[in-house]
Structure formats: structure tokens, C-alpha cells
Amino acid sequence: MKRSAVVLGCVLSLLTFRNASAESVRLDEVVVTATRTEVQRSQIPASVTVITSKEIEESHAVTVSDILQDVSGLDVVQQGGAGKITSVFIRGAKSEHTLVLIDGIRVNSPTSGGFDFADLTVDNIERIEIIRSPLSTLYGSDAIGGVIQIFTKKAKKSSASAGFEAGSYGTKKENVSMEVKHDKYDMSLAASHLNTDGFSASKAGPEKDGYQNTSISTRLGRTAGTGRIDLTGHFTVGKTDLDACKLDSTFTPYDCDNPAYKQDRRLALAGLRYQSQPVSGWEQVLSASITKEHLVNSDPDPNGINSTIDTGIRTVDWQNNFKTNDFNRLTVGYEWQNKDGDYKGNFNKSFSNNAVYLQDQLGLGSPVQLLAGIRWDNSAIFESALTYRLGITWLQMESLKWHAQYGTGFKGPTLNDLFWPGAGNINLKPEKSSSLEVGIEKGISDSFSLSLNYYQNDFKDLIQWAPIDSSDPFSLWNPQNVGHAISSGVEAEMRWAPVTFLQFTGNYIYDDTEDKTNGGYLMRRPLNKFQAEMKIGSANRNIAIHFINEGRRFDSPGNQNPLSTYNKVDITGAYSMTGNIEVFGRVENLFDKKYEEARGYNTAGSSAYGGVKVSFY
């Protein structure tokens, strides 16, 4: 904690950093996820990053995880290249502590608790909102560290496009999209196919681990009287070769480069949302959704277990927003969830959760706004949880915002935690957190802006797995609420556009973590992280040079053998030949740096990709 305070005092002298969203410091920007209502950024007492479709298109990224790499306060870890397990950590929290939503639809796995970003492509995305603070008072379990919500496109005009990309490691991608806009309805649809030969996920051998991805995403909306109905659909099939080490009786890894280890994944989701205003001052939002995931390992995992896993999430939510006067909005809602998991040969379980939530935003449109929220979750298989949130924002002037927030969060035990054969622990309690943050966002001029945030997190009753008999290397493992961890840090972001065609953006993150059970740092969370980008562009061409410095991290208990610090440079560029044809390219890891995001797993060397996009209006 002391180190964070020192950095907080010095960080203003280091503001030459990159923000993934160059426009994220606009205080009039409308954000939905932070309050479940449309409010301006100036009224939100939490740290927010918004990534727009324009920024996604200009990056020419393939997956959402590629975009999230650049967001302040986030750490993205991929275990061996395209299609391999990809986790996101927010401010020192576990990867399972990040709730992921697609148009409000939950996609976190009921069995593992987290969401694997490996298969989520950028097709058909309107914007991404990232809230870096606990939002359990609005979303319940899984939002203990923060929320990432992906919004699919709402058609604004009728158009279509087709694209092709190819490059290193035998990579090819084809994609098509269309948007249809009429007076009363709109539709967006996108489909893509990605294939790459890849490289060995494991550093232990030369065998290539390829990957294929097919994704379809659609959104259909229609106005109905004073209301609107939206339908969301998403389907992804991912097939990947994996490497996983087997363990001998002394837990020493061997046979890591396994050519027969493959994994097939399917994710399907559908959602219905009806928003209406029955009377003046009362808005209601009724939503229902279902998420299904199917995962098959075609070769025994390191413990010798063939696995086929089917999971499902069903959710019904009734949200009511009451505007009691010009300066107050009261949100009251009820949510029902049902989660199930069928781990073939191990367990087939399901459970339901009922929750009510209340939030009051007082002072809308005034310089000072207060926010208070509370939620009660009642689960059928673990103890109920009461969470709350208090926040304040002060718009000192049109371009200067101060904010502070204190909140609690929880994450319920997963189905794996509760029902793993021979080691289930039905008495497990939810993991809990308490978090404090204070921050400032300042638009110094039309061309220069910065933000600075300080945070503290305390995670208790963390579920950790340990062998029942530590003397027996083949003993069953049992989960227990014995973990305790803390994190504190500073996030600084800056944007500077000295002239219309030149822009500098960047961020710096200092994240001081501690595992209280062993006194070491939390694994895979760097203490320091620095990013900067220079972008030069005009109406029909642009080029961006991106630099990242990733500090020392640890990837083993007790902080043995740290992962080395590394620097990496990427370049992207595009040129519009006509109003309908654009050619683009990118070079990743320009100087061919050798580094690891996770111990024992390879990362891509210097690689180049190029493609063309044709649009029709």
C-alpha cells in the first residue's frame, strides 16, 4: 500500500501514456454498464473505458482480447497463441472475478467461473464498456472485480462489407457483414472464419498448434409503440490444438508438446430485451436470455481425465427506472438466474439464484451527484449475499471531474468447487471483496486530457484448492475458503493531439498485489505496465505505432522464477484507395522479442498481416 501511495505522488510527471480509447476522457460520453441506465461519464463514480467501433476498426484487431491488451488496469494472459486459453485480470482480481456480458447476456462459465476470451472476435461490435470496480450491487456474482460488456451493432444505415486477411503462421481470415435500416426496424449481421497453422503452444517442442474459428453475430431491433424490442444472437465454434504438460509422481512436468491434445468449443447465446415507458417518469426493461457452451477435450488432460462439459445460463430480469424529479433516478429490479453444468462422468448439477436490487442516483444534471446501491442475492446452494455501493462525483467545471466510490462484491462458488467428485464442499462460502477508489479526469484543452485513479481492493474467503493429504501426490484435492489477497495501485491515462493529423495516447499502471497466505505477489499481475501510441492519420490513410513495456510478473506460488520484463512494438496502417476499398496491414512484435505471458507457453515472434475490405452502401 505504501508503494502505491509513493507512485500516486509521482505519477503526474509520467503522463506520456496510452489509452486504448482515445476519446474515453470525453465527459459527455454516454455509458450504460456502470449504472444499468444511460448516463454521462461525468456522473459515474467509477473508472470507465469505452472503446468505439471506429477505434476497433482502425486497430484491425482480430479478437476482443487484442483490444483489451491496451486498456488501463487490465492484464490479458494468453497461453500459447491464437485460440488458446485467454484470461483477463482487473486491478489484481482473479480472472474469474470479471463478469463478461454480450448485450447484457452473461457468458461466464458456471463450472470454471471465468470467461475464456480465446474465441471472441471483434465482428459486429458497436462498442465495449469496461468498468474497473465491483458492480455486484447491479449484477450479482462474478462482478467482484469489474464488468466488461460488449454491445453488438445497432444498424444506422443500410450497408454491407466483405474482407479478407492473410499473414504469418499460415493465417487467413474472411468476413462479411451487413446492416439493414428501416423506419421501424433495424438489423445487423456479421460472419467470419479464421484459420491459422499457429506455432507450438508449449515451449517444449516444435509441433504447431493450429486454430479455426467460425463466428456469427446478429442483432434485430424493432420499435413497438412507445417501446423497443431487441433480439441478440451469437454463435461461435472454435477448434484448437493445445499443449498441456503431464505430471509425474513428484509433480514434475513432462510430455508438454502433445500433438494429440485438441479442444472443440461451442458458444451459443440468445437474448430478448423489451424497453418501454408505460407512463411519464417510469421506464421498464424486461429481458430474458440463454447461454449454452459445449467443450470437448479429445485427448486426456494432464490428470488423465477425458472431459466433455456442457453448461447453461438462463436469466430473466425486470428493471424499473423511476425519475422522481429532474435530479433523481431510482432503479429497482428483480433478477432470476439458473445455471447448470454437465461434466460428463463427474457431475450433472444445476441451481437457481433470486436477487433484488435498488439504486438511487441523486443530483442528475447538477455539479455534485450521489449514488447508492444495494443488492441481496439468495442462492439455492450457497449462503445469501448482501452487497452495497456508495459513490460521489463532482463536476467542478465542465472539463474537470472528481469521483470516489466504495463498494463490496461477491462471487459464489462454481459448480466445480461444489461438486467435483470426491472433493466437493457444499459448505463453501462466497468469495468477498471491498474496494475503494478515487480519481480525477481533466480536459486541459480540446487537444489534451488526462485522468488519474487510485484504488485499494481487499479480497477475502478466496476459494483455493489443496490436496486433502499433502504427503500423497495422488491425493484428491479439496476447495476451501482460506485465501486472502489485497491489491492497490495507480492508473494514469493521457491523450494529446497537438495537430489534427497527429495524436499521442498512453497509460501507466502500477498494481501492487499481495497474497496474504504466502506474502508473495499475486501470479500473472505485473507490478508496472506502460503503453504509448503515436497515430498519424488523414481522411484516407493512417498509421499507428504502439509500444508496450510489461513489468516483472510471477507465475508460480511463492514467486519463484519470475517472468522477465519485456518491450514490444506493433505497427498498424490502412489506406482507402476509394470510398469503398481499403487496404490494411499490421506488424506485430516488430523486433522479434522473446517473452512469456504464462510460464512454459510460447508467444508469437515478429509477424506480418495484410488484407482488404470492400464496402457497399
Q: What is the DSSP string of 581-611?
A: EEEEEEEESTT-----SSTTB----SEEEEE
| pLDDT of res. 285 | 97
Cα–Cα distance, 23 to 495 (Å, whole number): 8
Give 332's contacts (C-beta < 8 A, 6+ positions apart). 319, 320, 322, 356, 357, 358
Q: In which residue ranges of the chain is pLDDT below 70?
A: 1-26, 244-260, 299-306, 422-426, 468-476, 558
The pTM of the full predicted model, rounded to 2 decimals, is 0.93
Fold of domain 2-616: Maltoporin; Chain A (2.40.170)
Helical H segments across 414-469, by residue range: 415-419
| C-alpha cell belonging to residue 123 | 465482428
| pLDDT of res. 445 | 73
Task: Say if residues 533 and 546 touch (Cβ distance below 8 Å).
Answer: yes
Structural domain boundaries in the chain: 2-616
Among the listed residues 326, 358, 437, 433, the one whose alpha carbon sits nearest the alpha carbon of residue 392: 437
Cα–Cα distance, 561 to 553 (Å, whole number): 9
Q: Which 3 state secondary structure label does DSSP give 92?
A: coil
Among the listed residues 457, 437, 466, the one whose alpha carbon sits nearest the alpha carbon of residue 94: 457
Cα–Cα distance, 126 to 190 (Å, whole number): 12
Place of cell 424490442: 229
Strands 328-343 and 347-362: antiparallel
Question: DSSP letters along 491-513, please?
Answer: EEEEEEEEETTEEEEEEEEEEEE
| pLDDT of res. 324 | 80
Q: Which 3 state secondary structure label does DSSP give 10?
A: helix
Measured on CA atoms in the order 266, 294, 108, 466, is the torsion positive or negative?
negative
Cα–Cα distance, 448 to 545 (Å, whole number): 19
| C-alpha cell belonging to residue 429 | 462460502
Residue 252 CA to its chain's centroid (Å): 33
Residue 474 CA to its chain's centroid (Å): 35
Place of cell 466433455: 308
| pLDDT of res. 207 | 86
| pLDDT of res. 571 | 97
| pLDDT of res. 300 | 54
